[in-house]
Amino acid sequence: MSHDTQSKLVYMANQIATFFKSQPESEAAEGVAMHINKFWEPRMRRQLFEIMERESHGLNPLVVQAAPLIKRPEAAATVSQ
């Protein structure tokens, strides 16, 4: 995954978190997860989890809080020959 792709995903996830910060605290993380589950394709969600594994990911704490509610896609299938 290129640094540019990573930066775009972090930016997008943080925008979603900024929007949901206006919601009641008890609903904000659920809203972030619901939006990402509904509108992000599995590849994007897989990359988001890869980003989260890094120590300095730049993600809004609300995105990190929402992580357990985000559907984790299965690992990419490998082609065996």
Q: How confident is the model at residue 78 (pLDDT cuts 50, 70, 90)?
A: low
pTM of the predicted model, to two decimals? 0.84
Domain map of the chain by residue range? 1-69
Q: What is the 8-class DSSP label of residue 72?
A: P
Residue given tokens 């897989």 in the structure block: 46
Of residues 57, 59, 50, 44, the one with CA closest to residue 13: 59
Output the pLDDT for position 44: 96
Per-residue tokens: 69: 């509610």
Angle at 56 between CA 70 and CA 72, to 5 degrees: 15
